[in-house]
C-alpha cells in the first residue's frame, strides 16, 4: 500500500490509495496556497470517492450530459475535494457551446495554482469557470437550496418529457453539506420544501464532523439533526464512520430505493489522519503547516516529501470506475435519445432549445397590447396577463410565488396545474413562505435549463438577496417578479414598503432590473427579460393602478428595450427641463409635463425603466435622451434617492424618499411624502432657476 513502492495495488487497497490521493492533493494544494480548508476534504474523501466510483451516473467525457446525476458541494469551502475529484476522474473541459473538448476541467497544474489569479481552482467552486462545477457554492446553505431546485427540475423534466419506454430523465441530485449548511435558515427552508414535495431524487450527505470554524459544533449546534429531518418527512440514514465504504454504499442504495428525499448523516473526522485532527483550527480555514503535512502523510503511508503525488494506478482506477461506468451509461442514453428524437421530434426539439438556452419560435406571439386608459391598471395586473401569454408560448417557463400568488398575479391560469407530490409536471410552484429557499431553488432550476420565475413582495427581496446575488454571479437567467414596489402599496405600512431595495439591486452586477411605467411597458419589459441569456432579471411592479398612456400622443413603449426613452417632449425637441422617473412615478411626471406645457414651459419626460440597460447603450443614444446641455433635471421615484445624482447632475433635484414610509391610504401617503403634481412642477421650476 505504500505508494513510494509504486506497486500497483488492487481492490480495497486501491480504494484506500485513491482516497489518500484525494486527501494529500487537498493538503498539498492548501499548503502551497497557504490558504484554504484542508480538513473537510480529508474527512470527506471516502464519501466522495465511493459516491463517484460506484454510484454517480456521470460521464467525465461529457460533463453536461442532460441526464447526468448532479453532484453539488454545498460546503464550498471544501473546494479542493471537488477539484481533486474533477482531476482524478479526468472530467473534460467544455467549450462555449457546452461541447466537451480534448482538454481537462482541472489539471494537476491547476491544482498547484489553487486560489491563484485566473486559475480554474478558485477558493470556492464557481459555476461557468470550471467545467464540472454544477453551481457556485461558498455561502453556506445556498448549495443545498440549489439542489432542491435541481431535484424539482429533474422531476418536472421526467413528468413532461419521458414517454413509455423512453425514460429520458431519471437523474439524482447528490449534495454534500456541512454543519453550516444545516444551521443556515435557507438550508432549513429548503429541507422543509423538499420534504413537503417528497422529492425522491434528492440526497443530502451531511458531514457530521461535529466541528465548525469557531470550535466544537456543540458550542452552537446541539439539536438532533436526524430527528429534525424526519420531522420534515425525509428518509434519514446514518453512517457511523466516513471511512466505512460498505456502510456508505448501503446508505446510497437505500437512498435510491426511497420514496422521498434522503439525508445521510455521516460521522467523520475533520482533517482525518492529521495529528491535530481534534484541534479544529489546525484543519480548518488554514494550511496544516509543513510539519503536520509530513506527519499526516506518514500516517497514510505516503512518502513524506512527495508533493502532489498521484501514485501509479490511481488515475487508471478512476478510469475503470466512474470513467467506464459513466461513459457506458451516457452512450446508452444517447442511443435511447436518438430513438426518442425520431418518435417525438417536437419534444426533442424543445429539449434542444432548452439545452442551448434558446427561446422557442413564436415565443412572443399573442402578447397583449393595452389601449389607452386614464384609469389604467396596476402593473402587477398587466404583468399577470403577459406572463400567462408568454407561458403558453414557452413550455419550460415555470415558477411560482412565496405564498403571494394572488397578490403577485403570477399564477399560470391557463395551465392550472400545480407542482405537488404526485403531479411533478405542474408548472405552478407553491414555494410557501420561504423566499430564500425559493431564490436558491430558482437558481437550481435555471442551472437545469428551465426558465424559472419566482414572485414575492419587492420588500422581501431582503429575504432572498443572497440567492439573487449568486444568480447574478453565475450569470443565469432567473426571472423575479416583485410586486408592491413602493410606499404606493399603502395601508400595509413601512414594514412592507420598500425604500432602499431599488438602489441596492441596481448596485448588483449582472442583475437587470426593470420598473415599467404602464401596461404596455410591462409587455416590453417582459420581452427584454425573456431574451436575456446571462442575466437574472427583476421585474418591479405596482400594487396600485397606473394610467395606460395614449401611445399615439406619447412615444411607443418599445423604447423600454433601450432602458430609458423620451416619452413626451418639447414641441421643438429642445426642452428646458427634463422630468425623469420610473414605474408609477412616470405618470406623475407626465401630468406635471402637461401642466408645465400649459404654462409655456418646454419640458421632456424620460421614462427610465432600467438603469442597467440604459447604461449599456452607446453614448450618442444616452446623450440624445439626456442631452448634456440640459442641466435642469428632476427625477421622481418613490424610493431612496441614492444613485439618482448621476442622472440629475449638480443642478438637478430628486423627488424621492428620505425616510421609511407609513401606514395610510395611498392618497395621504402621496401628499405626506410629496408625490404630487404641484411638488414636481415646483421642483422643475427650481431646477430651471438653479441651472440658469
Ligand atoms: C453564509 C456563510 N457564513 C459564513 C461562512 C464562513 N465559513 C466558512 S466554513 C464555515 C463553517 C465551517 O463549519 P462547517 O460548516 O461545519 O464546515 P466544516 O468546517 O466542518 O467543513 C464558515 C462559518 C460561509 N462560508 N458562509
Ligand atoms: Mg462541521
From 37, 123, 140, 177, give the residue whose CB has the most ligand 1 atoms within 8 Å, as the site to mutate: 140
From 37, 42, 74, 77, give the residue whose CB has the most ligand 1 atoms within 8 Å, as the site to mutate: 77
Any ligand 1 atom below 6 A from CB of 669: no
Q: Active site includes 435? A: yes
Contacts (Cβ under 8 Å, ≥6 apart) of 357: 449, 477, 533
Q: Which residue has the cell 396577463?
A: 385
Looking at residue 54, what DSSP letter applies? I
Q: Which residue has the cell 420565475?
A: 453
So what's the pLDDT on residue 275?
84
Q: How far apart are CA 135 and CA 116, in angstroms?
A: 20
Atom of ligand 1 nearest to the CA of 141: 1
So what's the pLDDT on residue 279?
54
Q: How far apart are CA 64 and CA 334, in angstroms?
A: 13
Q: How far is the CA of 116 from the centre of ligand 2 (A)?
A: 26
Secondary element (H or E) of residue 633: strand 633-640
The residue whose C-alpha atom lies closest to atom 7 belonging to ligand 1 is 213
Which parts of the chain register pLDDT below 70?
1-11, 276-283
Which of 468, 542, 452 lies closest to 505 in space, CA to CA?
A: 468
Looking at residue 551, what DSSP letter applies? T
Give the chain's radius of gyration (CA, Å). Answer: 28
Which residues is 680 bridged to in the sheet?
A: none
The residue whose C-alpha atom lies closest to atom 26 belonging to ligand 1 is 139
Within a 10 A sphere around the Cβ of 215, how many other Cβ atoms? 13
Within a 10 A sphere around the Cβ of 599, how many other Cβ atoms? 10
> Residue 75 corresponds to which cell in the numbers above?
460546503
From 213, 214, 265, 282, give the residue whose CB has the most ligand 1 atoms within 8 Å, as the site to mutate: 213
Q: Three-state DSSP class for 141?
A: coil
Any ligand 1 atom below 6 A from CB of 543: no
Any ligand 1 atom below 6 A from CB of 213: yes
Any ligand 1 atom below 6 A from CB of 143: no
So what's the pLDDT on residue 604?
98
Which residues is 266 bridged to in the sheet?
A: 207, 239
Please state whether beta strands 373-378 and 545-548 pair in parallel, antiparallel, or not at all (unpaired). antiparallel
Give the burial class of 12: count Cβ atoms within 10 A of its Cβ; 0-12 exposed, 13-18 middle, 19 or more buried.
exposed
Contacts (Cβ under 8 Å, ≥6 apart) of 31: 38, 287, 288, 289, 290, 293
Asked if residue 389 lies in contact with residue 366, where contact means CB atoms within 8 angstroms, the answer is yes
Asked if residue 259 lies in contact with residue 198, where contact means CB atoms within 8 angstroms, the answer is yes
Q: How far apart are CA 260 and CA 243, in angstroms?
A: 26
Looking at residue 9, what DSSP letter applies? P
How many residues are listed for the chain in this entry? 692
Q: How far is the CA of 75 from the centre of ligand 2 (A)?
A: 9
> Residue 157 corresponds to which cell in the numbers above?
423534466
Q: How far is the CA of 180 from the centre of ligand 1 (A)?
A: 5
Any ligand 1 atom below 6 A from CB of 140: yes
So what's the pLDDT on residue 3?
40
Within a 10 A sphere around the Cβ of 338, how many other Cβ atoms? 11
The residue whose C-alpha atom lies closest to atom 18 belonging to ligand 1 is 212
Closest listed ligand to the CA of 75: 1
Which among 134, 184, 435, 521 is annotated as catalytic?
435
Contacts (Cβ under 8 Å, ≥6 apart) of 390: 363, 364, 367, 397, 526, 530
CA distances from 450 to 119, 156, 253, 553 (A): 30, 9, 29, 40
Atom of ligand 1 nearest to the CA of 43: 21
Amino acid at each position: 500500500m505504500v505508494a513510494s513502492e509504486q506497486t500497483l495495488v488492487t481492490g480495497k487497497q486501491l480504494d484506500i490509495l485513491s482516497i489518500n490521493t484525494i486527501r494529500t492533493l487537498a493538503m498539498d494544494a492548501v499548503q502551497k496556497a497557504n490558504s484554504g480548508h484542508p480538513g473537510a476534504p480529508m474527512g470527506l474523501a471516502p464519501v466522495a470517492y465511493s459516491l463517484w466510483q460506484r454510484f454517480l451516473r456521470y460521464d467525465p467525457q461529457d460533463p453536461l450530459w442532460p441526464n447526468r446525476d448532479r453532484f453539488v458541494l454545498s460546503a464550498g469551502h471544501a473546494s479542493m475535494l471537488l477539484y481533486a475529484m474533477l482531476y482524478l476522474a479526468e472530467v473534460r473541459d467544455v467549450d462555449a457551446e457546452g461541447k466537451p473538448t480534448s482538454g481537462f476541467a482541472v489539471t494537476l497544474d491547476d491544482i498547484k495554482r489553487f486560489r491563484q489569479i485566473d486559475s480554474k481552482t478558485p477558493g470556492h467552486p464557481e459555476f461557468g469557470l470550471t467545467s464540472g462545477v454544477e453551481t457556485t457554492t461558498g455561502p453556506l446553505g445556498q448549495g443545498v437550496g440549489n439542489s432542491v431546485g435541481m431535484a424539482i427540475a429533474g422531476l418536472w423534466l421526467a413528468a413532461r418529457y419521458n414517454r413509455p419506454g423512453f425514460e429520458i430523465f431519471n437523474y439524482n441530485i447528490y449534495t454534500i453539506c456541512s454543519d453550516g449548511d444545516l444551521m443556515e435558515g435557507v438550508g432549513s427552508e429548503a429541507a422543509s420544501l423538499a420534504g413537503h414535495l417528497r422529492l425522491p431524487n434528492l440526497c443530502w450527505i451531511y458531514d457530521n464532523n461535529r466541528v465548525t470554524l469557531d470550535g466544537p459544533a456543540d458550542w452552537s449546534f446541539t439539536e438532533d439533526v436526524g430527528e429534525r429531518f424526519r420531522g420534515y418527512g425525509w428518509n434519514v440514514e446514518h453512517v457511523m464512520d466516513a471511512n466505512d465504504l460498505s456502510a456508505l454504499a448501503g446508505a446510497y442504495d437505500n437512498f435510491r430505493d426511497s420514496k422521498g428525499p434522503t439525508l445521510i448523516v455521516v460521522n467523520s473526522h475533520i482533517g482525518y489522519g492529521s495529528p491535530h485532527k481534534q484541534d479544529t483550527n489546525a484543519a480548518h480555514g488554514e494550511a496544516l503547516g509543513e510539519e503536520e503535512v509530513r506527519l499526516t502523510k506518514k500516517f497514510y503511508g505516503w512518502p513524506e516529501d512527495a508533493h502532489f503525488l498521484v501514485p501509479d494506478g490511481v488515475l487508471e482506477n478512476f478510469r475503470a470506475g466512474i470513467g467506464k461506468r459513466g461513459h457506458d451509461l451516457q452512450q446508452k442514453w444517447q442511443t435511447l435519445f436518438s430513438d426518442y428524437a425520431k418518435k417525438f421530434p417536437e419534444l426533442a426539439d424543445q429539449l434542444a432549445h432548452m439545452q442551448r438556452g434558446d427561446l422557442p419560435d413564436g415565443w412572443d406571439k399573442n402578447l397583449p397590447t393595452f389601449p389607452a386608459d386614464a384609469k389604467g391598471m396596476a402593473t402587477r395586473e398587466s404583468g399577470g396577463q403577459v406572463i400567462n401569454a408568454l407561458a403558453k408560448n414557452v413550455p419550460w417557463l415555470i415558477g411560482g410565488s412565496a405564498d403571494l400568488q394572488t397578490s403577485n398575479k403570477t399564477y399560470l391560469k391557463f395551465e392550472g396545474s400545480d407542482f405537488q407530490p404526485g403531479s411533478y409536471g405542474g408548472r405552478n410552484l407553491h414555494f410557501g413562505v420561504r423566499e430564500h429557499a425559493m431564490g436558491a431553488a430558482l437558481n437550481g432550476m435555471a442551472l437545469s435549463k428551465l426558465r424559472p420565475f419566482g414572485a414575492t413582495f419587492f420588500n422581501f427581496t431582503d429575504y432572498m438577496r443572497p440567492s439573487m446575488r449568486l444568480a447574478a454571479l453565475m450569470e443565469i437567467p432567473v426571472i423575479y417578479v416583485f410586486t408592491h414596489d413602493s410606499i404606493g402599496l399603502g395601508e400595509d405600512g413601512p414594514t412592507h414598503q420598500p425604500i432602499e431595495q431599488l438602489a441596492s439591486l441596481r448596485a448588483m452586477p449582472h442583475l437587470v432590473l426593470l420598473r415599467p411605467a404602464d401596461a404596455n411597458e410591462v409587455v416590453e419589459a417582459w420581452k427584454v427579460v425573456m431574451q436575456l441569456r446571462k442575466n437574472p432579471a427583476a421585474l418591479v411592479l405596482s400594487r396600485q393602478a397606473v394610467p395606460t398612456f395614449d401611445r399615439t400622443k406619447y412615444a411607443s413603449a418599445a423604447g423600454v428595450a433601450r432602458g430609458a426613452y423620451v416619452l413626451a417632449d418639447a414641441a421643438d425637441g429642445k426642452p428646458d427641463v427634463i422630468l425623469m422617473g420610473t414605474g408609477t412615478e412616470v405618470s406623475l411626471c407626465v401630468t406635471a409635463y402637461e401642466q408645465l406645457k400649459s404654462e409655456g414651459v418646454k419640458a421632456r419626460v424620460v421614462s427610465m425603466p432600467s438603469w442597467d440597460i440604459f447604461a449599456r447603450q452607446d453614448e450618442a443614444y444616452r446623450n440624445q435622451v439626456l442631452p448634456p446641455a440640459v442641466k435642469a433635471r428632476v427625477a421622481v421615484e418613490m424610493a431612496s434617492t441614492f444613485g439618482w445624482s448621476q442622472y440629475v447632475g449638480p443642478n438637478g433635484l430628486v423627488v424621492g424618499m428620505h425616510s421609511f414610509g407609513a401606514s395610510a391610504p395611498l392618497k395621504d401617503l402621496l401628499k405626506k411624502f410629496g408625490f404630487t403634481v404641484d411638488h414636481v412642477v415646483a421642483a422643475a421650476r427650481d431646477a430651471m432657476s438653479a441651472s440658469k
